[in-house]
Structure 1
Amino acid sequence: MAESIGVLPGLSPVAGKPVHAAFDGSRLTSDAGILLLAEIDRRLGICERLADCIEDTRAPERVRHSLAEMIRFRALLIAAG
């Protein structure tokens, strides 16, 4: 019986290199699902929308990471387990 191989097209490049996701590894496992979650957030802007709802009281000249970046990082860490 032939199995269907799913391919996920249209992922954004990482460090200038294309990303291709295929679900044909049968027994392989990885944390590639995090790339998919990051891509979903990138396209829908979920973390940016959430950050817009939070008042940032930090001194702008001392800010290195935006609220959206911190929210995205924390959400992906939680998803990674």
Structure 2
Amino acid sequence: MPVTVDPPPPLPGLSSVGGKLLIARFDGGQLSSDGGLLALREVERRLGIADRLAACIDDPRSPERVRHRLAAILRFRM
């Protein structure tokens, strides 16, 4: 007889994507993990991790020659 386990509740408060509700759960079995990138992007946006980290780093570049802010570069690398 298989053991049934109640699925964990969805994480509340995530923004919709393309007009569809985003629900994060961890009981998907063999589903692709690529959808986790959307959740990580949401967490980074809400916490402002890249902006906060960029504020701690001295940017030696000439401001008039900067195309991409340091926070954007950090966000891309994350």
TM over 0.5: yes
**Larger displacement relative to structure 2 (4-13 or 45-54):** 4-13
Q: Distance in 2 between matches of 1:35 and 1:55?
A: 29
In 2, distance between residues paired with 1:45 and 1:7?
Answer: 23
Aligned to 2:69: 66
- Do 2:11 and 2:24's aligned partners in 1 also have CA atoms closer than 8 Å? yes
What is the RMSD computed on CA atoms of the aligned residues? 2.4
TM-score by length of 2: 0.66
Identity %: 54
Question: May I ask how many residue pairs the two structures share in their alignment?
Answer: 74
Structure with greater contact order relative to length (CA < 8 Å, sep ≥ 6)? 1
Unaligned segments of structure 1, at least 5 residues: 76-81
What are structure 2's unaligned runs of at least 5 residues?
none
Counterparts of 1:14-53 in structure 2, within 5 Å, are: 17-18=19-20, 20-21=22-23, 23=25, 25-53=28-56
Aligned-partner residue type, residue 42 of structure 1: R
Comparing both structures, which one devotes a greater share of its residues to helix?
A: 1
